[in-house]
Structure 1
């Protein structure tokens, strides 16, 4: 629907105001509906920054749903003790339920997850479905639970406070459709760079 508009809003409030009703008609959950609108807005903004025609962008066969902003506790994707997530689900008939997911959390991220729960840090949950199927008459789903926190919180609990004894410095630029990595020397000269594209986002006529 966004592709059909001649003029699109310039901020998140405008996007949500224009598309919330349509999104809610498909996913009757305000947080998920607003999250879907925010996701499309991010794709649009990336297209503008890259000089790509937004109307030429297509999404491959994948599924992701997220909340629209930071909150504690997050209502639709709720973190509980023991690294559990209680996730709101919506069936085709519109009925709403909750499922409990206990993803594998690496040791390096447990400190951050513990801090969210202990310090009541606002966060935004996101679920990415990578694959699904039926085995022995039981539906199975494979995916990820992702959590977004304020950047200063991430630095506080995840940064490795070590002196940089080397001569090179790395930088990361995260976008909706790609991650850019760059390495510079002490004088600011570019030594190397690499772009990693997210396979879920494609666009006709734009090389990766």
Structure 2
């Protein structure tokens, strides 16, 4: 059961907040700015595919945005989109961004961000055409943290305006654990299973959270997400206070696509479950608590679990988490 493992690492974390326009005029100016930024990004993609250098490209983009800092952000974002397209094996020439949006990347010694300023009461966004600051109220809930440096992105979705802030992950870390035990997780649509083992592979504890109602017809998607996140957070807190130092998750990058079955009920559960999204949140929550987080190749985990579950006295899902832990332990010695 020797398996390749990789350590999870997060440098930046994004928090999301709602923007509420103070005046209709500010709203319309922001819409125009976002349309122009989208146009500039599409132009930047074409320029980079034509091998135009960055200095010359930003001069061209300034004609669209009337702001060097916005032009620089549009160029950098276009470069990231092209690189992502190539990684996925797609043709960058077919890229065409349709949604309006705005990005202002973080700059050193710019009070967090040159074009987007935030305080406790409002968000101010620089309009490069009227040369005014557009004012908006914000709602980040309890998640907003003041930072010296952040990247800001404005997006429009379902008739609302949202502000995404990318901050250094260290600002969110609030726990440090010195535990020696290992907690392995098996994430499913209607349950989350955790098995805690020691360095010798002996089972020290087993905990599960069941929530079958989230896969039923008509259950709200956002509410299902909240239920899963709450369950995962409770299990991570339990691990934190019970001597765990390492957390293991399945390496979903090694799974190319979802595997559907002949059972319609099971397929419905699979289709309603955003496993990668839950895993992403799980990694962030674990790192915030100070755990070391690793991804383990899940190949054949379920098959092995079915063979040994009766011997272990556990269900298949807990056995899968145990197999994942054994793979990790074995990899430490080979």
Q: TM-score if structure 1 supplies the norm length?
A: 0.60
Alignment of 1:57-206 (within 5 A): 57-60=95-98, 62-71=99-108, 72-73=110-111, 74-80=113-119, 82-90=120-128, 94-107=129-142, 109-110=143-144, 113-114=145-146, 116=147, 121-130=148-157, 142-150=160-168, 154-158=169-173, 161=176, 166-168=183-185, 169-170=248-249, 188-190=296-298
Q: Would you say the 8 A contact 1:63–1:130 is kept in 2?
A: no
Larger CA Rg, structure 1 vs 2: 2
Structure 1: unaligned runs, 5 residues or longer? 133-141, 174-178, 193-208
Secondary structure of the corresponding residue to residue 296 of structure 2: coil
SS of equivalent to 1:40: helix
Q: Is the Cα contact below 8 Å between 1:77 and 1:126 reproduced in 2?
A: no
Structure 2 stretches lacking a partner, 5+ long: 1-42, 186-247, 254-274, 281-292, 302-334
After TM superposition, which residue ranges in structure 1, 4 or more long, deviate above 4 angstroms? 4-7, 158-165, 179-183
Quote the offset at 1:70 in angstroms: 3.1
Higher helix share: 2
Report which of the two has the higher share of strand: 1
Question: What TM-score results when the alignment is normalised by the length of structure 2?
Answer: 0.40
Q: How many residues in Structure 1 have an aligned counterpart in Structure 2? A: 156
Q: Which residue in the other structure is 1:46 paired with?
A: 84
Summarize the Cα distance change of 1:83–1:161 in structure 2 as closer, same or farther, 3 Å threshold: farther
Output the aligned Cα RMSD.
Answer: 3.5
User: Counterparts in 2 of 1:12-27, with a 5 A limit?
Assistant: 14-15=53-54, 17-27=55-65
